[in-house]
A and B are shown apart, each in its own frame.
Chain A
Amino acid sequence: MQVSKTVTAWAGAAAVISLALAGTAKADALSELATAAAKGPEVLWYESSKESQIDKVIAAFNKKYPNVKVKHIRVVGGNKMAGRVVQEVQGRGYTADLVSSGAAQTWALNDRNYLLKTDWSKLGVPKRVTPTDFAVAIAASVYVILVNTKKVPAEEQPKSWDDLTKKKWMGRIGGWVRAGAHTQMSKVWGQDKAEAELRKFVALKPFLFKSTFPMAQQVAAGEVDVAIGFFHTAQPPISAGAPLKRIALDPAPMHTIYTAVTKSARNKAGATLFLSWLVTSTGAKAYEDATNRGSHLLEGTRTHALVKEAKTAEYPAEETGTYRKVAKKFNKILSSAGAAR
């Protein structure tokens, strides 16, 4: 029963996609996709945000497409999600229809030939969010300066990368235990300067946090006075009224979040439809409002407004290999911070 349903959905989707590829108008392509999607099973989506947040995104989607069911399963982000996808494909032949993850993970999955290639332009998806045919950039984690406004008066607050490496932050600054920010900065600065900057940062004896959400909270609590953190992870304490302020960096390092449709998806049409909706202005806004993590590539989002003045720093997806090498080296330098004490 399940199998035949899957096959039907598959066939339907394939037909519709090929129709779409054949050059039908965008609107037609979408509505045909919607029809096929409604016949398929639930679209299963692996994503790492809270269920209550994604519920809102799905509700927004269903306003437009009430007949396409999407089910979100919150899966630990990062490598473990990709690991789970690999295991599921190997173990039972299929995994979730949609997988949201970082560049490293998405490209690793594509290396295994798990991701479906789609001609996104035919569906009206802007080129700038589809650097490749197997993944769509839906949002970005953007690094910002976090400051505790109680501990640091306005005139003292750091405004730039140079401000951050001043001696006065010795023992008062925090960062993520992974050298992601500096790694991405090496794309703009070049590896040598980025490494020098990282070493200056390490010399300040920074407090390193295993995860950036608690880090933002620790800045709010005054455990450290300033930190290099993510824009979206600082939102909860700020919303709760904590004495916490975000200051944009220029250049601003970031990690783009991609979403891909899997080859083993059981409702390919539904997955494709949902993903194309997610990067419309409605979808992007719904996603950012829910998760505080928005797309810098799509106008109308807060993230876009945040970084539009600044230069962004990120290895493009196709340079993921270089990113990995630099990250490995930088992570090691950062982990020597303890020895410096």
Chain B
Amino acid sequence: MLTIDHLNVHYQVSGGMFHAAKDVTLSVEHGEFFTLLGPSGCGKTTTLRSVAGLERPSDGRIVIGDQVVYDSSRKLLTPAQDRNIAMVFQSYAVWPHMTVGQNVSFPLEAARIKRTAIRSRVLKALEMVGLEDFSDRPATLLSGGQQQRVALARALVRNADLVLLDEPLSNLDAKLREQMRGELRQLQENLGQTTVYVTHDQEEALSLSDRIAFMKDGNLVEIGTPQSLYLAPRHLETARFLGQAEFFSCHSITPAGQGNVAAETDIGTIIVENSEISTEGCVLMIRPEHIEIVSAAETARPNLFDGKVTKVEFAGKSVQYDVALHTRTIQLQAPSVRLHVQGEAVKICLAPNRCVLLDGKLGT
């Protein structure tokens, strides 16, 4: 549905050019909910705006459906208004001089749809976002959440092949954000529109997306499903950005049978299940919730280490512990079914199936 091929975007900034998107290549399937995730300044919004036709890339190729909208080799750049897209902006961009109805009907007027048809389509779109009674209200008299719905309805009413959402929830308060997130996913599933979603919020990305592209410093680092990116990232940057993690430098890696490998780290040998990586100088990653506190008698499982609890942070359904091993302290998260106290000697287990080996080197 959407193909981006070697896209490069440069900005003129004071003191030269800024390379905002570097050789970004990806494709989004029909009906997919695709998320561009990354810290601010990573190039995700630039990429989205290039798809929308709001930026002029310096080279590459963008295809929406069967419409080539940008191709540097053919010197082709379709203006935004001629692309079969709809977009929701972070700022809502609800036009303050119009009513809710006027806002939503605008895209249809621009497409020169008949007036009678417009009315029914606007009503349908407003119904979808639950604003059917607000049509004649001035847009400025709505709350933030309602304005966001207007922006959403305005995007949906076009019935475009591709819906682009640029951090649409970041201006809402936490509770509303969660609610809207659910509605958004529901709407997308009902309508089946291909959606590209930009966010810096990992939770949003994980819970909404079919697939996520992680970007950093203008580079597309990695694409994958939420599960694969979280549980088995292939890049250090991805692992660092998504969730918390403990990292261990590996001195050597040796096969350990059954497709497993044994990684030599500062805290000792760690068995990693099913790892494809066998290069030296890599990093082992594990998420805090995949480190378990086991009973002192446990000996059967792999990756057991002795330590002492140095800090306890109680967070309700889970508890965060700092555990000092003989060479370093690690953090882990355990369910609150059993509590440990500061100073207690514990034995921990690193789940081998959740240990991930990554290319790269840890900074000092």
Is any CB of A less than 8 Å from a CB of B in the complex? no
